[in-house]
Amino acid sequence: MRFAAKSDRGIVRELNEDNYKLITGYEDVPDVFVVADGMGGHSSGELASSMAVEFAEKYILEHRELFSSEESVLSTIKELMEEANTVIFNRAAESQLNFGMGTTFITAVMLKDKMYVGHVGDSRVYLIRDGKIEKVTTDHSYIEELIKNGSLTREEAENHPNKNIITRALGCEENILIDTITVDVKEKDIFVLCTDGLTNMLKEDEILDVIMKNDDPEVSCSELVRLANEKGGEDNITVIVVIND
């Protein structure tokens, strides 16, 4: 398996409030990839996303046996994210400056022939297989709810003024609902984990095109960030590419 990651401030934003971590290379721990897109004023978004990824690594290393078991990995991902939610929520309550801060979050665990994913918010996981791209996660967003109830088409959603409003994030409420997904992984499958700074700038077929043209995940990450910035770079951009050789 090969993987790479890149995070960039973008063109418009002054701060990079995205964070990621490649939790790999540890004994008795499967490879884990986490992505967070923070929100909140006075740089508290950066604090929230940073707290989330740091907490994730600490939690995983302290509960490595639970992450190494197919029976317990999904419930452990949920527990990790619920505890991260509590930590960020309590920190936000301590200071007026941090009030309302939160972060999207993806935890993706590659264990044996499966990818186990937990997520909140509108950061995404894509699976690329046999030259096709599929969105694995469902955005927790106002727009997604409008699409689900038939009020809006996917095409109309692309330029909707409220497309950045999310309905779930770590740290914003005392309790959080975590979605989990299990993906059966095949040889040559490619996973793309990213924040909306990428997906608001590039269409899915543009992401697919970059991945299919580059066998090196590092090159793919750099090219995706470059293209997102070329198209305006309106938000922070973070992307992880994982190739299952």
For residues 73-89, give the mean pLDDT.
98
The DSSP code for 195 is -
Task: For residue 155, name the pLDDT band (cuts at 50, 70, 90).
Answer: confident
Statement: residue 244 has pLDDT above 80: yes
For residues 12 and 236, give the distance between their C-alpha atoms in angstroms, rounded to a whole number. 8
Given a contact cutoff of 8 angstroms between Cβ atoms, the answer to whether 6 and 227 are in contact is: no
- Share above pLDDT 90 across residues of the chain, in percent, rounded to a whole number: 85
Burial class, 155, CB count within 10 angstroms (exposed 0-12 / middle 13-18 / buried 19+): exposed
Class of domain 2-137+165-243: alpha beta
Per-residue pLDDT, 160 = 81
For residues 14-36, give the mean pLDDT.
97
Q: What's this model's pTM, rounded to 2 decimal places?
A: 0.96
Burial class, 204, CB count within 10 angstroms (exposed 0-12 / middle 13-18 / buried 19+): middle
Question: Helix or strand or coil: residue 72?
Answer: coil
Given a contact cutoff of 8 angstroms between Cβ atoms, the answer to whether 68 and 29 are in contact is: yes
Statement: residue 151 has pLDDT above 90: no
Task: For residue 82, name the pLDDT band (cuts at 50, 70, 90).
Answer: very high
pLDDT in tens, 168-212: 999 999 999 999 999 999 999 999 999 999 999 999 999 999 999
Per-residue pLDDT, 157 = 79
The Cα-based distances of 136 to 55, 66, 87, 117 in angstroms read: 24, 23, 27, 9
Per-residue pLDDT, 150 = 86
The packing angle between helices 217-230 and 204-213, to 10°, is 140
Statement: residue 36 has pLDDT above 80: yes
